[in-house]
Amino acid sequence: MLEYIKGDVAEITPAYMVVDCNGIGYMLNISLNTYTALQNQRNVKVFVYEAIREDAYVLYGFSDKIEREMFMLLISVSGVGPNTARMILSSLSADDLQAVIASGNVNQLKLVKGIGAKTAQRIIVDLKDKIKSGNNTLLVQLEGSSETFDEAVAALVMLGFPRPAVQKAVGKLLKDKPLMKVEDAIKMALKIL
């Protein structure tokens, strides 16, 4: 699991960037918001999401953890893939997207290219409970230890389970029992999955 890549910007466009890390160039798909945040920087730390499929190994890069968490929440919604999530995060900042979801503003989401009324409604319904509306900070599906969440999700993804399903299961378990040990979270999640 890659958490982040730190290195020099070898190339950057509005759609992707290449980060040179000790002589290895990592190509990361990015949103316009990440492009704006990193375009004038020489040395960067980019947070990563790995999409591993049978036919491809694709990296998505984010200028901060909040944007990555929003991306991960978006792709957990049925019918929203990585490219659609990246399009949404190119149109709205992570804070704006949280506000749109918390307020249930379907019309604002429909303004994003490729997002219809049904998809916009599904995003709002699926994610509204996972976003705090008070101060627009991510709940990120857990109120206990994020380290437990991260380790349990990483272990289950390594076992071959899809990340969105794993995040949902582990998030639900930790919401009910925030102080659960990693081993217990994995065992209980295996029963759900």
Q: pLDDT per residue over 27-58, tens digit each?
A: 999 999 999 999 999 999 999 999 988 898 99
Domain ranges of the chain: 4-62, 66-130, 146-192
Fold of 66-130: DNA polymerase; domain 1 (1.10.150)
Q: 4-62: CATH homologous superfamily?
A: Nucleic acid-binding proteins (2.40.50.140)
pTM for this entry: 0.69
Rounded Cα distance between 165 and 51, Å, is 14
* In CATH, 146-192 is 1.10.8.10: yes
pLDDT tens, position by position, 69-111: 999 999 999 989 999 999 999 999 988 898 899 888 899 899 8
